[in-house]
Chain A
């Protein structure tokens, strides 16, 4: 009975198919299986939803179109028309995180967004990509980013490092936000689920709480995917429109 009772057990990575390239362990784990399932799920949702492409959309088609329009509007508002070339990336990020979060809500599945490695890798890709875009677009002018206008030169040695730290803390706060929300939510669910059995007949109280919490977790799954996307958009906006 002791196994499976720790609320943190759900985050354990399990090797399913051991694989090795050179010295690097590239085994297929439960995390990577969930990622593959997410990619397949997103593709199926969009391709099957748009298969008929009817003028009057059905349920699936309108959901697919809704998600497309939602991100398109978000991008248009935060970045403007210059952001259009980056729409595929932003949309992929949103759908990947959203489906990853939602698939994690299925009992006995695995939430890969609850691992800091995964979210930090995604945040790093966003951060590096945005920095490269900014340098490619503005060349050396990019570095004026770290020196606010109208500041006396004497303040520069103090202000520039602070601005650089502030800039470098972006991928951390971006990844920690998603990871911590998923981790905390899923742990809380498991903790309260454990109380149900332990309390016997009085388990109805934590049971009701878990039901409510599950709803809240689904909201958070959407919310965090949205926050991750909107922050990516804001960073992109910074990169494209320096002062």
Chain B
């Protein structure tokens, strides 16, 4: 309880304050990366499934509507179901490569990745 102790406590507080000031960006980032794999493997599997199926569904719907409009009954729907499958794979690929859910290729530091992806597309 002499003046040594409060000094030590103050120093400790000071270092903790400094740490806390440096931190604010980090904790949320950690939770972000933790939670975006929400629920571990099952959550990941579920997300992959939803991404795949929703893209196929949208593709089928677009194809069906175009068929109704252009009266080309089964053909455009068949084409668009496969395109939807490709879009689904693309969604999953982007998710797995850490593009998040971004469509397009906007992240600067991930430009290299996207170009690589485009190369593979060729």
Complex Cα spacing A230 to B32, Å: 9
**Are B54 and A148 within 8 A (Cβ)?**
no
Q: B54 and A223: CB pair below 8 A? A: no
With A73-B28, A234-B101, A238-B103 given, is the CB distance from A150 to B118 under 8 Å? yes
* A5 nearest CB across to chain B (Å): 28
How many A residues have CB within 8 A of the partner chain? 43
Partner of A165, one of B28, B50, B59, B117: B59
Contact of A166 among B50, B103, B121 (CB under 8 A): B103
Q: A137 contacts the other chain (Cβ, under 8 Å)? A: no
Task: Evaluate whether A169 and B38 lie within 8 angstroms (CB atoms) in the complex, with A235-B101, A238-B103 already known.
Answer: no
**Interface-located stretch among A13-21, A47-55, A172-180:** A172-180
> In this complex, which of A146, A172, A241 has the most chain B Cβ atoms within 10 angstroms of its Cβ?
A172
Q: Are A165 and B121 in contact (CB under 8 A)?
A: no
Instruction: Identify the stretch in A33-41, A56-64, A80-88, A154-162 within 8 Å (CB) of chain B at 4 or more residues.
Output: A154-162
Interface residues of B, Cβ cutoff 8 Å to A? 24-25, 28-29, 32, 35-36, 38-39, 46-47, 50-51, 54-55, 57-59, 62, 80, 83-84, 86-88, 90-91, 100-106, 114-115, 117-118, 121-122
User: Which B residues touch A44, using CB under 8 A?
Assistant: none
- Determine whether the beta carbon of A162 is less than 8 Å from that of B83: yes
Chain B nearest CB from A237 CB (Å) reads 8
Q: Is there contact, CB below 8 Å, between B115 and A223? A: no
Known: A165-B59, A223-B39. A149 touches B103 (CB 8 A): no
B122-A234 in contact (CB<8A): no
User: Which residue among A159, A163, A168 has the maximum number of chain B CB atoms within 10 Å of its CB?
Assistant: A168
Complex-state Cα separation, A158 to B84, whole angstroms: 11
Q: Which residues on the A side are within 8 Å of B38 (C-beta)?
A: 223, 227
The reply on A91 being an interface residue by CB < 8 A is no
Q: Across the two chains, which residue of chain A brings its CB closest to B95? A: A173
B57 close to A170 (CB less than 8 A): no
A231–B106 CB distance below 8 A:
no
Q: Sorted from nearest, which 6 A-B pairs have the closest CB atoms?
A: A172-B54, A165-B87, A166-B87, A169-B55, A243-B106, A173-B54
Identify 13 residue pairs between A and B in the complex whose beta-carbon atoms are under 8 Å apart, listed by A's number.
A77-B28, A148-B104, A148-B114, A150-B115, A163-B103, A166-B55, A173-B101, A223-B35, A231-B101, A234-B101, A242-B104, A243-B104, A243-B105
Nearest chain-A residue to B25 (Cβ)? A77
Rounded to whole Å, the gap between the CB of A225 and the closest CB of chain B is 11
* Nearest CB of B to A236, in Å: 11
Determine the chain A residues whose CB is within 8 A of the CB of B24 once the complex forms. Answer: 73
**8 Å CB contact of B29 from A77, A159, A161, A180:** A77
Question: A160-197 interface mask toward B, CB cutoff 8 Å, 1 = contact, 0 = none?
Answer: 01110111111011001100110000000000000000
